C-alpha cells in the first residue's frame, strides 16, 4: 500500500512538472509571437 501512495506521489509530481514545462513553453511561444508582431513598424501591420 505504501508503494502505491509513493508511486502516486511521484506520478503527480512528474505530471505537475510536465504541466509547468508546457505552460512555460506556451508563454515563451506567445511572447515570441507578440515580439514578432510588434517588431516591424506599424506601417507594415495592417489590422
The per-residue pLDDT for 27 is: 98
Domain-located, residue 43: no
Q: Is 17 inside any structural domain? A: yes
- 31 falls within a domain: yes
CA distance readout (Å), 14 to 5, 11, 23, 32, 36 = 14, 5, 14, 27, 33
Q: What's this model's pTM, rounded to 2 decimal places? A: 0.57
Determine, yes or no, domain membership for 44: no
Residue that wins the pLDDT comparison between 6 and 46:
6
Closest by CA position to 18, among listed 26, 7, 29, 30: 26
Among residues 36, 21, 3, the alpha carbon closest in space to that of 45 is found at 36
Q: Is residue 46 part of a domain?
A: no
Q: Indicate the number of domains in the chain.
A: 1
Q: pLDDT value at position 2?
A: 83
Q: Is 15 helix (H, G, I), strand (E, B) or coil?
A: helix
Closest CA to 45 of 17, 23, 37: 37
Predicted local confidence at residue 37, as pLDDT? 86
- In tens, the pLDDT along 7-47 reads 999 999 999 999 999 999 999 999 999 998 887 665 555 55
Amino acid at each position: 500500500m505504501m508503494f502505491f501512495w509513493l508511486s502516486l506521489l511521484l506520478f503527480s509530481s512528474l505530471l505537475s512538472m510536465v504541466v509547468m514545462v508546457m505552460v512555460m513553453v506556451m508563454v515563451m511561444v506567445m511572447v515570441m509571437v507578440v515580439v514578432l508582431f510588434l517588431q516591424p513598424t506599424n506601417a507594415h501591420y495592417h489590422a
